Structure 1
Amino acid sequence: MAPVNPYRDINITVSASHYAFASPSSPNAPVLVIDRPSGDMRLTESPVLGGTRMGSVAGLLGVIRLRLDKYIIIITKAMLVGRIRGHAVFKVQTAEFLPLQERQLHDPDEDTYLSLLRAHLRTGPMYFSYTFDLTNSFQRQSSADASLPLWQQVCHCLSLPELLANPWAGGGANPRPSSRGIQADERFFWNRYIQSDMIDLRGSSPAMDPFILPVFFGFLSITTTALKSTPLSFILITRKSRHRAGTRYFTRGVDESGNVANFNETEQIVIIGDSTRGLGGYDQNSIASGGKASIQQIKVFSYVQTRGSVPVYWAEVNNLHYTPQLQVRGADSAMNPARKHFDDQVRLYGDNYLVNLVNQKGREYRVKAAYENIVKLLVSSPVESKEGSEEIPERSRRIEPTKGANTLDQLHYVYFDFHHECRGMRWHRAQLLLEQLGDGLYDQQYFHSVEGKSVSSDIRSYQKSVVRTNCMDCLDRTNVVQGMLALWALNRQMIDAGVLEKGENAASFNSFEVIFRNGGSEFVIQGLLETWADNADVVSRAYSGTGALKTDFTRTGVRTKAGAIADLSNSITRYFRNNFSDGPRQDAYDLFLGIYFPPATAMSSLLFIDRRPIVIQSIPYVLCGAIFLELAAFVLPRTTDGGLLSMRIFVLFWFVVALWAANFVMKHGKLYVSWPRLNTLGFSVQGYNEDLSRAKKDLIIGKWVGRGGNARERGLSTGGSGRLIHLEEGKKRIE
């Protein structure tokens, strides 16, 4: 049975009573009609009369309900970025909103919701394919039921234990879907929430399948090159989980459902035997038809790594200081969420090698200790071992289970002191981590399939475990280590494939290593650096708001002073964005992913209005004014008969005002942080109230604080909870 793929082209007809969506390439297929203004959906076989044709779109991203109206989100422009096994892959470039109602007046809250969503779609890298499941790794796809519609293949893959128990369940003519389909892995189906209305309609109308288009959020790069005259395609995909997604300081640790912040799955794919160039890729159908591709075998290699926040309850509370306040709860409180998290990870990936890169000194030590405590609580009869040196008592630490009595005994904790070992820009010493992982790297293997003899794949090996890497943010140090492990896996794959001889290294071939580290073609390397360096930047921007640090090492293999200066610039930019602009970014995540539901009320709640006391709002303006007057006193020309004494008094006065205003802002920093306004964070409420209480005791303006304004937490919704808790224990997803 041929699979049902999403429509490549959809024509839109609009009238005062409905929107109609039909594919001109499937004229006999039912038409999707969405009534206005109710938003009711239906499929109809008969022609839809009336209306004006708006044009053709690349797909329907979904439907979202805001406070006053529902909106259909359409993909108006998509860019072809390459082909994977002959399947075209696209990046969403522009999207538009089709309202169901014609509003005559603008509502402030509704307009802000739309602005947040547009910003999210404009800046969030999203990819899709009409014929290829990008949300699943090659290994999971080997067990998918290819006869199912594309969006359902996201959900029907065997878990790793099931796959290894019956390795021929996938890859044959009749692969068996998982009996545990209800526990579907939908982590990377980014638009799953806004497609829920369409998926609900599909329950009664299977003809809805071609309108459902799964999109993933993250990074994708496809490069065709050659290694030792062997043509190959190098593909890198990073998929960001839609569970507990958000920004750097507003989503940390684990939630009650076992989801961790900044969880990403990165898959490195190498396809050997692909002789095409540019945006090409071999066409799997040509293998069956005896085409040129069938003359040689097509070898597919895949290697998967993951990253994710330390799975305990912890947070860093913004207060305008460069180093936020760190709060960590005891490991006992996170036992159940951590168990859920690792149960899922073991089911999906097998053994987990938990590489922890946080610093063992200073403020980060508490996070390290909490991680180690939670691992010791989860595994059976844990055995610890550590290695020290004359300079430092603990260079590395391992925690291993001894019984193997339960699922979580497949956890292997490996601590590596990245700061100590790689200090002084000696980041090549991260290679020492390979020794710490030992036989675990060899035993995990990788996914390897061969195609060319028949339509079905001949699967030679499965990846049996995964390295889960984390630092504090799961960004910069994690990127360095993941790039190193990826190159190590690539060398092993190429040796096993016969492309390299034993003892050879891909890094020895300059033309290929430049492609591996920087991206480009085998002929000219110029322009933007891509692949692993760009992957690091994309993951970092989604979480921290800036490109990654330390990417000069990923690109060139050495740490440079220019890279250190670039890192300083990124660090300063991160400080300002994390404190003054991450609130709206977090709101956009929560709105798009369905973590926050706008209340359907007739009256505007003015949710986004600044409710701080006027005097609190005015202090930054006073600071800016004082600095301006100080500069003006030194820059502007003076009259010859002007009194020197009066000028000095003027300068001194505004200097004192500037010092007082700057001190007030830094001392009461939580009053000036851009907090999320949709889902109130418990620690933000508490921090705001504490700083507001201190501001009321200020000798100069204390008596005016609280007058003429609402003293509630900045951005707290009218129906929000004012509970004062010490940590955010996670926002529950409701779908």
Structure 2
Amino acid sequence: MSFPFRDLNVHASPTQYTFVSPSSPNSPALVIDRPSGDMRLVTNPILSGKRVTSSAGILGMIQLALDKYIIIITRSMLVGRIQGHSIYKVQATEFLPLQEKALHDEEEDAYLRLLQTHIRTGPMYFAYTFDLTQAFQRQPSLDKSLPLWQRADDRFFWNRYIQSDLINLRKTHAAADPFILPVIFGFVKIVQTKIKNTPFKYILITRKSRHRAGTRYFTRGVDENGNVANFNETEQAAIIGDSDSTPAPGFEKSEPQILSHVQTRGSVPVFWAEINHLSYVPKLQIRGVDAAIGAARKHFDEQINLYGDNYLVNLVNQKGREERVKRAYETMVRNLVSSAQEEVEASEETSERFHEIEPTEKRRKEDRLHYIYFDFHHECRNMRWHRAELLLDQLKDALEKQSYYHAAVKGDHVDILREQTSVVRTNCMDCLDRTNVVQSMLARYALTRQLQNIGVLTPQEATKQFNHFELMFRAAWADNADVVSRAYSGTGALKTDFTRTGVRTRRGALADLSNSITRYFRNNFADGPRQDAYDLFLGNFLPANFASASILGDRRPVLVQSVPYIFLGMVMFLFMAIVAPRSENSSQIMLRVFMVVAFGVASWCAYFVKTHGMLYVNWPKLNTPAFATEGINEAMGKVRKDPVIGQWIKGHERGVSTNSIRLIHLEEGKKRIE
């Protein structure tokens, strides 16, 4: 089996890039011709060009509007070792263009900035000899003779698209395998710790799916292929008796014990969206549940094939706007399972504390779904977050039946002692804050049970009784929560004071308020480029098909664009008029007239922006959502009727579709490339 090269020297010349591994001098070199991008493997290459840099690996290759680029990892950081395998985090990359360009292109530079920001801010991890994309339980069943990238879980192979050229080369040249390096997007924490007298390695890994990836308000629900937004698999593992640890009770030092437990999270699998229009609460839109049954069935069939029974823990609010999402989810489950049986438990103040839906027959695959609604919002209000343990009590029978993965490693052989047979799939509206609290609670319960079963803890003991471990555990899960939240919402997670300390504090509530306000501004004014970066990196948008200098530009009429700037100018004038010193000879009447006019203009601008809010959201420009296109066209129709500025923008065609614009851009792009 061939593992990826640990080191690559890059030699550049005007006609080619040559990648050679100093530690594997007998292996073929990878030669990429310039500017065509043709690739070949060469034994004993002539290194005519200058050595550009050393690289930890090739992240991939991507074709933009005018050129193709090789993305190499120039700096990585060791985050820990798993069973002797080093795990690294990508810290810096470099883009190597295939063409020598004397002039810069505005659109090309914009694409590059999107990609560079995505890679710089996106936490990406890799290993040369360990498959980070697969959970511990799945790894023994994989074919060890296959190269690392062919064993990777396609969902979590984050750079799969930009590795396409190398994968295509490998179809005819098996020696290309060491150049293909799988990378995950998510979180990895590896800590050497101990409980009582037993040292062990604590591992927490979150893998973000590359399917339907994106930002909070631009990717919700499920798509036609059964992929849901913000899907993450989180695995907690403990390795006892590794080479640098004491063996578990009753086991030899040569038999490391692997204990693992997996959870998932993902958006409610119906067709729904939240549409930004500058209000703090977006407009909720849910299509008919019947239309999404096929997509939801694809999603859950895959989840059942991968994980077994799915316990669907739903944490959305049962009142207010979230109630519609709750009802849609429950209707979907009723449609999928056979002869649904429902049980509702009320509390002293609400009609539903728990709502469970179970199939009464086992006729089809979807009868392995078990729905559990928990009124998190009401039960844990007023900072009573310890009451989330009510859900744990409700799930204990399922968790006992679910079990966990336990294996003893004897040299090259893995003796599987237990397997996890089901998974808890948790969601709230964003699958972030409430989900993080519940997942950390379930993870603590699972680890306590595992350590009790192998004799590290007695039946009366729990991990939270050991302060040094509990502090590390809480910090790891809070860090994980922040990473998952930043990838989706743009800010750290809410409620992490409870995750970190076990207590809900007023200081934490203030931090949550700050994060909520930051989320509002990011989600309305900054998430468009972030979504574009996701789509560009993952291959959901192909720049070469839409080569136009204006596709990333602002296509709104200049007058519409200028309204916020006029508002700011008027506010600044009013501020200066109030605070600036005045001479005795200045005309107070004229100043007051100007102030009244400025106040009137500012008020009109504020009213205009609020009324036509969809025109001021920073929407994705590469794959603009259909609901955004419809809303923008509707808003522009109203603007054209505006009594103040409508007559000045009638020259803009009404109802021009995104597809029509792209066709125009395509023709412009052809001329530009030529």
1: CA distance, partners of 2:331 / 2:437: 26
Which residue does the alignment assign to 1:172? none
How far is 1:201 from its partner?
Answer: 0.9
Which residue does the alignment assign to 1:444? 402
Which residue does the alignment assign to 1:211? 179
Cα distance, 1:40–1:224 mapped onto 2, change above 3 Å = same
How far is 1:55 from its partner?
Answer: 2.5
Residue 263 in structure 1 maps to residue 231 in structure 2: yes
- Secondary structure of the corresponding residue to residue 497 of structure 2: helix
- Secondary structure of the corresponding residue to residue 262 of structure 2: strand
2: CA distance, partners of 1:307 / 1:239: 11
Residue 489 in structure 1 maps to residue 446 in structure 2: yes
Cα distance, 1:232–1:711 mapped onto 2, change above 3 Å = farther
How far is 1:298 from its partner?
Answer: 1.6
How far is 1:698 from its partner?
Answer: 2.0
Aligned amino acid, residue 555 of structure 1: R
Segments ≥4 residues shifted beyond 4 Å: 709-717
- Secondary structure of the corresponding residue to residue 660 of structure 1: helix
How far is 1:294 from its partner?
Answer: 6.4
- Secondary structure of the corresponding residue to residue 457 of structure 1: strand
Cα distance, 1:450–1:721 mapped onto 2, change above 3 Å = farther
Which residue does the alignment assign to 1:115? 113
- Secondary structure of the corresponding residue to residue 671 of structure 1: helix
Say whether the 8 Å CA contact 1:610–1:714 is kept in structure 2: no
How far is 1:256 from its partner?
Answer: 0.6
2: CA distance, partners of 1:720 / 1:491: 59
- Secondary structure of the corresponding residue to residue 258 of structure 2: strand
2: CA distance, partners of 1:646 / 1:713: 45
Say whether the 8 Å CA contact 1:671–1:714 is kept in structure 2: no
- Secondary structure of the corresponding residue to residue 338 of structure 1: helix
Residue 198 in structure 1 maps to residue 155 in structure 2: no
2: CA distance, partners of 1:249 / 1:721: 28
Identity %: 62
Which residue does the alignment assign to 1:161? none
> What are the Cα deviations for residues 236-259 of structure 1, in whole angstroms up to 9, with x where unaligned?
100000000000010000001000
- Secondary structure of the corresponding residue to residue 141 of structure 2: coil
- Secondary structure of the corresponding residue to residue 383 of structure 1: strand
Aligned amino acid, residue 592 of structure 1: F
Residue 102 in structure 1 maps to residue 134 in structure 2: no
Which residue does the alignment assign to 1:733? none
> What are the Cα deviations for residues 546-582 of structure 1, in whole angstroms up to 9, with x where unaligned?
0000000100011000000000000000001100111
Which residue does the alignment assign to 1:582? 527
How is 1:539-554 mapped onto 2 (pairs within 5 angstroms)?
A: 539-554=484-499
Residue 372 in structure 1 maps to residue 316 in structure 2: no
Which residue does the alignment assign to 2:257? 299
Aligned amino acid, residue 126 of structure 1: M
Say whether the 8 Å CA contact 1:685–1:713 is kept in structure 2: no
2: CA distance, partners of 1:495 / 1:471: 31
Residue 718 in structure 1 maps to residue 665 in structure 2: no
Which residue does the alignment assign to 2:188? 220
> What are the Cα deviations for residues 426-485 of structure 1, in whole angstroms up to 9, with x where unaligned?
11101100122241111001101112x443121110010000000000001101110111
Residue 344 in structure 1 maps to residue 302 in structure 2: yes
Deviates further, 144-153 or 403-412: 144-153
Which residue does the alignment assign to 1:431? 389
How is 1:550-561 mapped onto 2 (pairs within 5 angstroms)?
A: 550-561=495-506
Cα distance, 1:706–1:233 mapped onto 2, change above 3 Å = farther
How far is 1:696 from its partner?
Answer: 1.9
2: CA distance, partners of 1:15 / 1:390: 75
For residue 459 of structure 2, the aligned residue among 482, 490, 502 is: 502
Cα distance, 1:253–1:26 mapped onto 2, change above 3 Å = same
1: CA distance, partners of 2:650 / 2:492: 40
TM-score (norm 1): 0.88
How far is 1:657 from its partner?
Answer: 1.9
Residue 570 in structure 1 maps to residue 501 in structure 2: no
Which residue does the alignment assign to 2:422? 465
How far is 1:599 from its partner?
Answer: 2.6
Residue 682 in structure 1 maps to residue 626 in structure 2: yes
For residue 63 of structure 2, the aligned residue among 65, 68, 74 is: 65
1: CA distance, partners of 2:300 / 2:398: 18
Aligned amino acid, residue 651 of structure 1: M
2: CA distance, partners of 1:297 / 1:247: 44
2: CA distance, partners of 1:491 / 1:253: 34
1: CA distance, partners of 2:488 / 2:650: 35
2: CA distance, partners of 1:640 / 1:269: 77
How far is 1:714 from its partner?
Answer: 10
- Secondary structure of the corresponding residue to residue 583 of structure 2: coil
2: CA distance, partners of 1:14 / 1:275: 42
Say whether the 8 Å CA contact 1:350–1:410 is kept in structure 2: yes
For residue 357 of structure 1, the aligned residue among 315, 325, 328 is: 315
- Secondary structure of the corresponding residue to residue 138 of structure 2: helix
TM-score (norm 2): 0.95
Aligned amino acid, residue 343 of structure 2: S
Say whether the 8 Å CA contact 2:206–2:232 is kept in structure 1: yes
For residue 407 of structure 1, the aligned residue among 337, 345, 365 is: 365
> What are the Cα deviations for residues 628-683 of structure 1, in whole angstroms up to 9, with x where unaligned?
11111122111234344443333332222222111110110000111111112110
- Secondary structure of the corresponding residue to residue 92 of structure 1: strand
Residue 187 in structure 1 maps to residue 131 in structure 2: no
1: CA distance, partners of 2:433 / 2:662: 38
2: CA distance, partners of 1:696 / 1:436: 57
Aligned amino acid, residue 188 of structure 1: F
Which residue does the alignment assign to 1:290? none
Say whether the 8 Å CA contact 1:68–1:600 is kept in structure 2: no
For residue 648 of structure 2, the aligned residue among 699, 704, 707 is: 704
Which residue does the alignment assign to 2:605? 661
Residue 639 in structure 1 maps to residue 639 in structure 2: no
The number of equivalent residue pairs is 662
